[in-house]
Amino acid sequence: MQKKLFVSVISLAMYLCTYAQPKTRFYFDEGERLMRAGKYEAAIASYTQSLKLKDNFIVYNSRGIAYERLGKYEEALADYNKALANFEQERQKRKIETDYTPTYHFNAGNANFGLKRYKEAVKHYNTFISIASAQRNIEALQRAYINRGICLEAAKEFEAAKQNYTKLISISPQFATAYVRRGLLFSSENDYDAAIQDFDKAIALNPQEKMAYLYRAELKANTKGPAEALPDYSSYLQLAPNDLSALQARAAILVATGQFKEAIKDYNKMLSLQPKATNILLLRAKAHRSDRNFSAAIADYTAALTQQPNNFQALLDRAALYRSTGKLDEALADLNKVLEVHTANAYAYDLRGRTLRGLGKLEDALKDYNKAISLDNTQADFFNNRGYLLNQMKKYAEAIKDFDQAISLEPNFAYAYNNRAIARYQLGELVKAQEDARKSLALDPENAAAYHTLGLVLLKEGKKQEALQAFENAVRLKPDNQEFAASLAEARK
C-alpha cells in the first residue's frame, strides 16, 4: 500500500508552528525525527507527550501513521478520527488554508485495509479520489487508485480492481505501476498475452519498474519454460539484488539448464544474506555435486548437518558422495546412522551394500542387498547391484537371475546387459555373452566396460583381431583403467 499523504506535511507543520506551544512543537519534532529513524514506539511516546500538552490534529495524524507502521491499525484509525474531529474544531475557530479532510480519508482507507474492512477502505479511497479528481492532483490520484485496486483485489473483487486500474491508465497513461497491477490480474485470469503486454508496457515506460520484470519472469517460467524467464529474473535482481526468493528461483533455473557455476554464485549470495540457511546450503551442495565438485558438496552437507544433525536425506546424500570419492568408512558411518532410525529405507540398504562391497565385506553386503530388495522389488538397480556382487562372489548362475530381473524391470538397462554378459562369459556361454555385450553397446556406445567384455568373449572365441579392436575401444574410452590396459597388452602378445 502507498503511504504518502495527499496534504503536504510541510504545510501541516507550518500550521503547527503557528499555533502550537514551543514544548508541544519540541515533542512533535522529536517524534518526527524518531519516525524518520524507524523508531516507531519511541515516536509514539513523543507524540503522546505533545498531545498531553494540547490536542492537535497534525500530531494525531502523525501518531496514527506510527501506529499503522507497527500494524496497530485500530489505534491508527482511532487517531485519524481524533485528528479529523480536532481539525473541524480548529477550522471553526480560525481560518485554516490547508484542508486535512483528504488526508484523513487516505489514511483511514489504509487503516481499514489493514483491518481487512475492505468496503470501508474503498469508501474512504472513493472520497479521496473524488477530492483529488476535482483538484486534478495526478500524483495523489495515482496513489489512491493503486491503493483502492489492491484493496479490491484483497476483497476478491477482481473485475472491479481491473476496471480501477484501467481507469487509472486512462487518467495517467504513462504510469507504469498501473500496468503492472493490471497485468497481474490478467495473469490470474490466464489471459497471458494481455498480461505480457501490460508488463512489457510497464517496462517500456519505466525500465526501473522492478516488479514488472519479476512478474513477467514468473509468467514466462510457467508458460514458456524456465529458460525463457532467466533474463527477466536477472533484470529484476539488478534492481533488487537481495531478494532471496528471486535468487532462489533464478538459481533453480540455472541448475535446470546445467549452469551450475552460475547457480552456485546465487547460492553464495543467498548465504551471505542468511549464513545459517540450511536449505540453501543443501541446494548449493546439490549444485556442487552436479558440477562434480564433490569436496565442496561434502563440505556443504557437513555444514548443514552441524545445524540439523538428524537430517537423514543430507546424511544419505553425503554418504553417496563419500562412497564416490573413496571415503568408504565415512560413508558407512553415515549410512549406519540413517539405518538406526530408518530401518525400512531400501535405498540406504542398497547404498550400504555397495559401500560394504567396496570394503571387501561381501557377505555383509549381500545381506544389505537382500534387505533392500525385500523392501522394494521394483528397482532394477537393486537387482543389478546384487547381481554384480554375486559375479564378484563367483555365483554366476544366481547373478544371471538378478540381471534377468533387472532387465525385465528396465529393458534398456545397458549395464545390466554387460554384467550378464560377464556372468555368461564365466559360465562359458560365449554366444549369449557376446549378444549381451553387443546389446549393451547398442544401448550405450560409450560403455567402455562392455567393449572390454566383448573383447574377452571374442578372444576366447579365437577372434583376435576383433578382440584387439574391442579392447582398444575400451582403453580409448577409459585410458586410466589398468584392467582394460592389461587385457589389451595381453591380447597383443
- Residue spans of the domains in the chain: they are 1-168
- Residues with Cβ < 8 Å from 459, sequence gap 6 or more? 467, 491
- The C-alpha angle 67, 71, 76, rounded to 5 degrees, equals 35
CATH entry, 1-168, from 3.90.180.10, 1.10.10.10, 1.25.40.10, 2.20.28.90: 1.25.40.10
Tens of pLDDT, residue by residue over 442-467, are 999 999 999 999 999 999 999 999 99
- H-run or E-run covering 439: helix 430-443
pLDDT of residue 402: 98
- Residues with Cβ < 8 Å from 326, sequence gap 6 or more? none
pLDDT of residue 15: 52
pLDDT of residue 359: 98
Question: Percent of the chain at pLDDT above 70?
Answer: 96
Asked whether residue 11 carries a pLDDT value surpassing 90, the answer given is no
Asked whether residue 439 carries a pLDDT value surpassing 60, the answer given is yes
Q: What is the dihedral of CA 10, 11, 13, 15, to 10 degrees?
A: 170
**Segment 118-128 mean pLDDT:** 97
**Segment 455-484 mean pLDDT:** 96
In the chain, count H helices and then E strands.
Answer: 28, 0
| C-alpha–C-alpha distance, residues 168 and 155, integer Å | 19
Q: For residue 3, what pLDDT band results from cuts at 50, 70 and 90?
A: very low
pLDDT of residue 20: 55
- The C-alpha angle 49, 50, 52, rounded to 5 degrees, equals 65
pLDDT of residue 18: 47
Q: For residue 204, what pLDDT band results from cuts at 50, 70 and 90?
A: very high
